[in-house]
Structure 1
Amino acid sequence: MAEHGTPSERIAAELRRRIATGELAPGTRVPSTRRITQEWGVAMATATKVLNRLRDEGLVRAVPGVGTVVAGTPTAGAKAGGTTAAGAHVRVPDREPQRASGAQESATTPVSPGAPGGRRTRTGGERELTRERIVAAALQVADAEGLAALSMRRVATDLGVATMSLYRHVPGKDELLRLMMNVAFGEQPLPERLSPHWREALEEVARLQWRIYRRHPWLASTMSFTRPVLAPDAALHTERSMAALSGVGLSWEEIAQASVALAAFVCGLATHFEREAQAEQNSGLSADEWMDRLDAEDHGRLMADPERFPMFDAMNRGPELDLSLEALYEFGMARMLDGIETMIERRRA
């Protein structure tokens, strides 16, 4: 088959071919964005464009909790969704059946040119649409594919509604992100009572933040400590940290600075969760596999010069080191708490 068109067009054509030939049967999952990036070696944005194209053509649909699946049985005949890689036409399969009369129309879907009027309306779930459903769908996209894949249109597509219907519940993407942040922090609430000792209490808060960022890799990149977003469940973490430091002899400024600095350290390190996930998707290599390849290719040549890099040279000759995100988190958190403890001891003295 001759290579033509953009990468997204070529990949979409191949997936149309698989649907047309039955290789991808109705109801079966199609390759996810992550799988597309691995199989074709393209960026996440390209993979997202492929699935969006197939959704617009009606060939696939999103099923909450399952993923993107083939929407129906492809039928040979007039072209409504595109041309396969082999040149055969694929008719867009019908989507969900019409609801009872009076249901609100959410979108229009192209059908075979022979259909009356050339188009049919597709009723969706606008009547059942809520802010909570929108936020839940947005969280699912961001958790699985990163913030680059998140848009109001994408969320509407996954929910099976018109994009404009989302704006009746959420003013825009900025507000959607704020709501997502608040839900992410609220789904793993702080304990009713923290440890009575300030150090153990701060450690409890920091470890919970680390778990939240690890569960939602996109979250840390949305946080700001100079222009904080009004997310009450996130602000509660700082509130509890400051409460843990009250009464130990620090000024209000020191209490606030210590609490925010510890949260900023956890957040800053956690930004690498999303970066690592993106890097693994783009390269197809885990962090360990990437380091192994680096050692085999460039590391020995660039970093083992004993005259220019004597410390690296000595380190490479010693035992294996643990520089994982988890190890860096444990080390950094302990040293920050050590510093706060030293400050408290000086105030008491």
Structure 2
Amino acid sequence: MGVAVVLTCVMCGRALRPAERGRPPRYCSRACQARAYRARVSERPTAGARAKPRPTAENAQVVQDQALIVRAAVALADREGLATLSMRRIAADLGVAVMSLYRYVGSREELNDLMVDSVFGERPLPEPGPDGWRAKLELSAREEWALHRAHPWLSQLVAVTTRPPVAPGLMAYTDWRMRALAGQGLDFSTLVKIAIMIGTYVQSAAVPLAHEARAARGARHTRRQWAAARREAFDRTISANRLPMVSEFGDEAFEASEPENIFEFGLHRMLDGIAALIDAV
């Protein structure tokens, strides 16, 4: 009996489905095929070049240090948002050839994962943390909220998705929350749901931060200035659509609608709900 040969992608090592005819496949996807092509192109000598110039110490550090590439990406996103983020921009900021980055960061998706992991690594949750499950969960939510305040673009990579980034730093928050609830009589499935619910709530509450940062960069005015400029249109809309409660909106309502206050209100209501669930066990 012969031994079955399992073909694997030459770039990522994933198993390949044998071809029905023709040459056996070498790549699992167009993305891996493109990575292989970029790697070959980056290693070709320039036409007419006599010798490959020796890299400077600074450039050598860049291509050898993935963390430096990720830090540059995070800094660029902090300054200008995700819309301007690209491998070409990062390479320009670092002063290196763009293709040299692909040796250490294979794709934009991988870069996104590394950025999320780096950001969550800035605020690892303490061990063992405060006493009591409620204090622990509140702390974890506030720490994650602080990350979104520092990096408003973060929610665009982690919020409203069932395919979260492959980021150990982010996963550590989920694991920590589940351990905070261990011993409360809840089954494992419920622990998973609660841990993910908290992360989803914080991330969703943080989505306006990204929009506000983008609007502030473009229009260069605050949310309050924006609201004041649209006051006349706001009043016309209310009077034309019979909105009695919304018509009462003033400074107090405006303050209540700030992302920070929405986060605070929702956090405590969510923790109250978890407490009621535990009490019912």
What's the TM-score, normalizing by structure 2? 0.76
Partner in structure 2 of residue 293 of structure 1: 229
- 1:125: how far off? 3.7
Q: Which structure has the higher relative contact order (CA within 8 Å, separation 6+)?
A: 2
Equivalent of 2:179 in 243, 268, 273: 243
Instruction: Give yes or no for contact 1:104–1:124 (8 Å, CA) kept in 2.
Output: no
Aligned residue for 1:169? 104
Partners of 1:220 and 1:267 within 8 A in 2: yes
1:310 counterpart SS class: coil
Deviation at 1:314, TM superposition (A): 3.6
Give the match for residue 126 of structure 1.
Answer: 59
Structure 1 pair 241/288, CA: closer, same or farther in 2 (3 Å)?
Answer: same
Q: Out of 66, 78, 82, which is 1:147 matched to?
A: 82
Partner SS, residue 218 of structure 1: helix
Partner SS, residue 228 of structure 1: coil
Query: 222, 227, 230: which is aligned to 2:157?
Result: 222
CA shift in 2, pair 1:304/1:199, >3 Å: farther
What is residue 333 of structure 1 aligned with on the other side? 267
Structure with the bigger percentage of helix: 2
- Asked if the contact 2:119/2:147 (under 8 Å) is kept, the reply is yes
Amino acid at match of 2:277: M
Distance 2:234 2:203 in 1: 29
Give the AA of the match of 1:312: V
Q: CA deviation at 1:126?
A: 3.1
Give deviations 1:20-65, integer Å, cap 9, x for gaps: xxxxxxxxxxxxxxxxxxxxxxxxxxxxxxxxxxxxxxxxxxxxxx
Q: What CA deviation, in whole Å up to 9, does each residue of 1:70-111 have, x standing for no partner?
A: xxxxxxxxxxxxxxxxxxxxxxxxxxxxxxx98536xxxxxx
Aligned length: 228
Q: What's 1:50 paired with?
A: none
Quote the offset at 1:284 in angstroms: 2.3
Q: Is the aligned partner of 1:157 residue 2:107? A: no
Change (3 A) 1:318 1:160: closer
Paired residue secondary structure (2:280): helix
Partner of 1:193: 128
Unaligned runs of 5+ in 2: 1-50
Gap change, CA 1:319 and 1:326, over 3 Å in 2: closer
Q: Distance in 2 between matches of 1:133 and 1:252?
A: 38
Q: For residues 315 and 189 of structure 1, do their structure 2 counterparts lie closer, same or farther at Cα, with a shift above 3 Å needed?
A: same
Aligned counterpart in structure 2 of residue 261 of structure 1, from 184, 191, 197: 197
- How much does 1:196 deviate? 2.4
Secondary structure of the 2:129 match is coil
Counterpart position of 2:213: 277
Are residues 1:346 and 2:264 paired? no
Q: Deviations over 1:271-305 (max 9, x none)?
A: 2111111112222221010111122x211111245
Q: Which of 94, 114, 120 pairs up with 1:179? A: 114
- Amino acid aligned to 1:226: T
- Aligned counterpart, 1:65: none
Structure 1 stretches lacking a partner, 5+ long: 1-100, 106-122
Distance in 2, Cα, partners of 1:222 & 1:255: 24
CA distance in 1, matches of 2:275, 2:171: 24
- Change over 3 Å in CA distance of 1:309–1:252 after alignment to 2: same
Measured on the aligned residues, the alpha-carbon RMSD in Å equals 2.1
One of 201, 205, 208 as aligned partner of 2:140: 205
